[in-house]
Each structure stands twice: as C-alpha cells, then as structure tokens.
Amino acid sequence: MTFVDRRTRCYMAWEASFARGQALLQDMLDRTTQADHYYSDEFPTYHNLLYYPGQHHPMPDKSQTYSVEAGNAELRHYLARLARRSRCFSRSLSALQSAIRVFVFAFNQRQLYRLAHPGYPAHILDFISPIS
C-alpha cells in the first residue's frame, strides 16, 4: 500500500503487508504528513478510518488516483518481486520491505530532482549511493 503526494509524486507512506486492514491503514494515515484532500478507491476500509486531517474523496474510477497508480506501476517495474506472484517473489516480508525502502528513497530523491531541474534527465539508479 502506498500514499503518494500528487504535486511531487513522492511516496509519503508505504507498507508491505499480507493484508490491507483498518489498523494498518490507520497507522499509515497517522504517520504521514497531513493533506487537505485524500483520494482513494472505494475499498470499504477507507470509509471506516478514524481520522482524516483533510477531506476524503472515494473515487469509483482512477480519475483522481492516477498518481498512486503510476507510482505502483513504477514499483512493479523496478522491483521484479512485485511484478508477478509466480516468479521473483519475496519469501521474506522483511526482504521485501528492505527492497521497497531503498526504492522509495531513490524514487523520492529523483522526483524532487526532476521538480528542481526539469530539463535534466535522471535515472533512478543515479540516486542510489554505492555501498563501500
């Protein structure tokens, strides 16, 4: 699960889990920065969350959730373990969380770089420092 800022397209919160439950979503909502508007699909759990600092807009289509959908597509593109269940899957949840943590860090750095320097190309690998 991911929360994405629509202006910067940066990940605000993410979680790798076997289930998409109310406690997990509430925890993600509580630890992310506050927003004026929240857009989501019509998954029933979103309606039961205790506190939205701003307005919640459940959408029947993807007209307002395109940022998070694009971010999820980037995750599946760069992390093969998320692309298919039959190949390259993570046997360990902690290994998957570590891979996502590295990806989100590099992706967010690239997105912020692109906002500051729109004319310069940048690949996500440019924002991962080599391990010494």
- Domain residue ranges in the chain: 2-127
> Would you state the torsion angle of the CA atoms of residues 11, 63, 76, 55, taken in this order, to the nearest 10 degrees?
30
Tokens of 7: 């202006």
* pLDDT at residue number 101: 92
* pLDDT at residue number 111: 92
* pLDDT at residue number 86: 55
> Would you state the torsion angle of the CA atoms of residues 40, 53, 49, 28, taken in this order, to the nearest 10 degrees?
80
* pLDDT at residue number 85: 61
* pLDDT at residue number 41: 84
Question: pLDDT under 50 in the chain at which residues?
Answer: none
